[in-house]
């Protein structure tokens, strides 16, 4: 959050900012918190270890884990799962193909779990691997001694895919292309809990290189059609429906702001320079609602958006082809 430039704001806007600031401050990496009976949120250490968050969901006879993480993150999640339940981990859901969410697939399957995802995750792995795997530069990845990332063992192409054992129902949704072509959400309808992966984060964690920026707000709009009380994101702390709405607002305002600057004759290099001299946020016209998602990567995000607009196609197609 940029606090160097203070502007007059209404009490209402200040209250919104305070909510988001509190959500950031409550982040506690490498801790696990019960969100509902049989549902735990494990906060990953993104800054120190590059880990994503994990969610552990207890069914009648087994556990479901949301996201595979990196290998050392997976092992930490396994240890915490054993602390909260004696039940075995049967399913691990990859919300998307990025390394911090899927590179530990082999760790989980070796331990006896089955990995699964929306079919787009496996397709993205075919598109980007083994190049990214080989360039990961992580000891926990190289120590697996594998030539490439292990894809999910099972995929689905009709949304939602459902696990229901009579004690709990989990719906696995694909709402379209936002962060990646394979974005998956896990939804617990009774508890009204939504696990979003990186399609919705709580903070300045939006990597957009494989994304479709123009469609991102539409994906969040589809998620908002669900009855949601708690949002458990791929990065950042847990929150409520305001996390969904804030992510959506940030993406809309970013796209609109970049479009306006491009029409005014600004280049991608201009946006980078504006990011360096701290004038970009104001030039984009981002509101107080978007502040929580503004961070050091804003210039990079603006350039990705610019390139998508200029090419007239999703940035993920620029990066990885069709």
> By C-alpha distance, which of 252, 258, 246 is closest to 216?
252
- Enclosing H/E stretch for 57: strand 54-58
Confidence (pLDDT) at 4: 33
> By C-alpha distance, which of 216, 122, 245, 116 is closest to 170?
116
Q: Rounded to an integer, what is the distance from CA 175 to the centroid of its chain?
A: 14
Domain assignment present for 4: no
Tally of domains within the chain: 1
Residue-number span of the structural domain to which 189 is assigned: 11-320
Domain assignment present for 254: yes
d(CA 134, CA 49): 18
Confidence (pLDDT) at 3: 31
Confidence (pLDDT) at 28: 84
- Kindly give the parts of the chain with pLDDT less than 50: 1-25
Confidence (pLDDT) at 26: 58
Domain assignment present for 233: yes
Domain assignment present for 123: yes
Neighbours of 298 (CB within 10 A): 22
Domain assignment present for 170: yes
Domain assignment present for 65: yes
Domain assignment present for 2: no
Confidence (pLDDT) at 27: 60
Q: Rounded to an integer, what is the distance from CA 260 to the centroid of its chain?
A: 27
In this structure, are residues 187 and 163 in contact, taking their beta carbons and an 8 Å threshold? no
Q: Give me the CATH number covering residue 79.
A: 3.60.15.10
DSSP 8-state assignment for residue 251: H
Dihedral-angle region of residue 83 (phi above 0 means left; psi in -120 to 50 means alpha; beta otherwise): alpha
Confidence (pLDDT) at 73: 98
Domain assignment present for 184: yes
Confidence (pLDDT) at 17: 41
Enter the pTM of the model.
0.91
């Amino acid at each position: 959050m940029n606090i160097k430039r203070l502007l007059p704001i209404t009490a209402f806007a200040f209250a919104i900012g305070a909510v988001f600031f509190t959500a950031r401050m409550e982040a506690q990496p490498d801790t696990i918190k019960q969100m509902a009976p049989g549902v735990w949120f494990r906060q990953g250490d993104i800054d120190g270890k590059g880990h994503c968050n994990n969610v552990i969901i207890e069914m009648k006879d087994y556990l479901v884990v949301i996201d595979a993480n990196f290998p050392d993150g997976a092992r930490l999640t396994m240890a915490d799962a054993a602390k909260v339940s004696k039940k075995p981990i049967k399913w691990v859901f990859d919300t998307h193909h990025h390394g911090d969410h899927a590179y530990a697939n082999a760790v989980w399957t070796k331990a006896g779990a089955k990995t699964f995802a929306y079919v787009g995750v496996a397709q993205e792995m075919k598109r980007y691997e083994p190049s990214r795997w080989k360039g990961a530069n992580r000891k926990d990845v190289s120590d697996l001694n594998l030539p490439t990332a292990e894809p999910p063992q099972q995929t689905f192409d009709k949304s939602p895919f459902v696990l229901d054992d009579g004690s709990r129902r989990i719906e696995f949704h694909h709402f379209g292309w936002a962060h990646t072509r394979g974005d998956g959400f896990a939804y617990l309808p009774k508890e009204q809990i939504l696990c979003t992966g990186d399609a919705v984060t709580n903070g300045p964690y939006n990597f957009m290189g494989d994304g479709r920026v123009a469609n991102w707000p539409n994906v969040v709009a589809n998620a908002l059609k669900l009855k949601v009380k708690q949002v458990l994101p791929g990065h950042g702390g847990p929150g409520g429906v305001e996390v969904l709405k804030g992510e959506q607002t940030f993406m809309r305002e970013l796209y609109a702001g970049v479009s306006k600057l491009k029409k005014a004759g600004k280049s991608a290099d201009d946006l980078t320079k504006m990011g360096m001299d701290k004038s970009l946020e104001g030039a984009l016209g981002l509101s107080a609602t978007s502040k929580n998602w503004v961070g050091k990567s804003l210039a990079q995000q603006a350039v990705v958006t610019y390139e998508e607009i200029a090419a007239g196609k999703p940035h993920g197609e620029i990066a990885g082809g069709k």
